[in-house]
Amino acid sequence: MTVVSIDNRPNVMVSLIIPVHNEETAIAPFLSAVHETVDPLRARGIDFEFLFVNDGSRDTTLEQLIEAQHRDNRIRILDLSRNFGKEAAMTAGLDACRGDAAIPIDVDLQDPPTLIPLLVGKWREGFDVVLARRCDRSSDSYMKRQTATLFYRLHNLIASQEIPRNVGDFRLVDRQVIEALKRLPERRRFMKGLFAWVGYRTAVIDYVRDARVSGTSKFSGWKLWNFALEGITSFSTVPLEIWTYIGGVISVGSFAYGAFTIIKTVFLGIDVPGYASLLVSMLFLGGIQLVGIGILGQYLGRVYNEIKQRPIYLLRQDIEAPAAPDNLVAMDAMLRRSADQP
């Protein structure tokens, strides 16, 4: 798809949204890698805001961020009141960012900052969403890769909205898309699905996902399983509705078997044995009913959580950098000039 460039603004700002949870060792390498790639873009009229969302870290992450802010006034810190999870932290970032576009990015350098100029370039060509797709996930474990494949396959089979495979949260979204995302009210946020749901003109860039630069992944097997459940239940009601069909098939089968038994009894007389088939069918039906009720519970739990209308996150503080000294100088000069005027 070719898109005519529509974005000719001379100066634009891009917000990097960086959720951090116990990442004291990752911040310094992240900032130096990011500076290296984004600072040259300044000459092209592209400025950056580094919006860190401290998601209830219990180590020195916040202190490190504040210290980094003294050296770089493009850093802004949203400090959440506790750990709300990455999805909520990203939502906080998207709500608060001021850029003409935003890029959610992990602090562990698994989303390579070298891709940022490419994402921005595509955006300037006129795309509203630029996805970064992992074409090689060999840095992830075998299990994680397999389960991820299975998840995408199942999700896209039954969900109302397909999510692109192997695309994480690392992507660029235009201001228009940010505003659209803000209008989605759900409390439990499966961001990959929400990003896909809003649509807009989309371009894709492929990259190789590296291993974590330091620290360990915050997503264990159990968390990932729940994350997958969240994705499927947020965007599909198939698991809820499929019971109508399963029940239908079993009823038709039972009816046919009942009719067969009656006819057999009429013609061949009463047949006492049948203990095994009785037991098997009872257990089978009992099991399937429990699964059905469990799935109802999954959805009901989510309805309950949505209906409580609790906020997605709570902000403890929003730490802005003090205005740059050169801004102050410029403002001072302006005030003097206006004072000099008659």
Q: Residue 30 or residue 235: which is nearer to ligand UDP going by CB?
A: 30
Which H or E element spans position 288? helix 275-307
Contact between 231 and ligand UDP by CB under 6 A: the answer reads: no
- Cβ proximity to ligand UDP: between 116 and 203 the closer is 116
- Nearest distance, CB of residue 323 and Mg ion, angstroms: 34
Do residues 293 and 247 make contact, with C-beta atoms less than 8 angstroms apart? no
The candidate with the shortest Cα–Cα distance to 134, out of 110, 171, 169, 167, is 167
103 or 203: whose CB is closer to ligand UDP?
Answer: 103
Q: CB of 195: closest distance to Mg ion in angstroms?
A: 18
Q: How far is the CB of 176 from Mg ion (least distance, A)?
A: 28
Q: Report the residue from 12, 16, 17, 20 that binds ligand UDP according to the rule CB under 6 A.
A: 20
The span from the CA of 3 to the CA of 121, in Å, is 12
| Total Cβ atoms within 10 A of residue 228 | 18
Q: Which region among 57-65, 84-92, 107-115, 232-240 touches Mg ion (by CB under 5 A)?
A: 107-115
**Site for Mg ion (CB under 5 A): which residue of 110, 166, 202, 233?**
110
- Name the phi and psi angles at 217, rounded to 5: -65, 145
Please tell me the distance from the alpha carbon of residue 250 to that of residue 247, in angstroms, as a whole number. Answer: 5
Integer angstrom CA distances of residue 163 from 118, 151, 235: 22, 11, 10
- Phi-psi label, residue 274: left if phi above 0, alpha if psi -120 to 50, beta otherwise: left
Tokens representing 203 are: 């371009």
- Contact between 134 and ligand UDP by CB under 6 A: the answer reads no
x-or-dash string of contact with ligand UDP, 22-41, rule CB under 6 A: -x------------------
Closest distance of CB 186 from Mg ion, Å: 24
- 85 touches ligand UDP (CB under 6 A): yes
CA–CA separation, 317 and 319 (whole Å) = 6
Site for ligand UDP in 91-130 (CB under 6 A): 106-108, 110
User: Given the rule CB under 6 A, which residues bind ligand UDP?
Assistant: 19-21, 23, 55, 83, 85-86, 89, 106-108, 110, 217-219
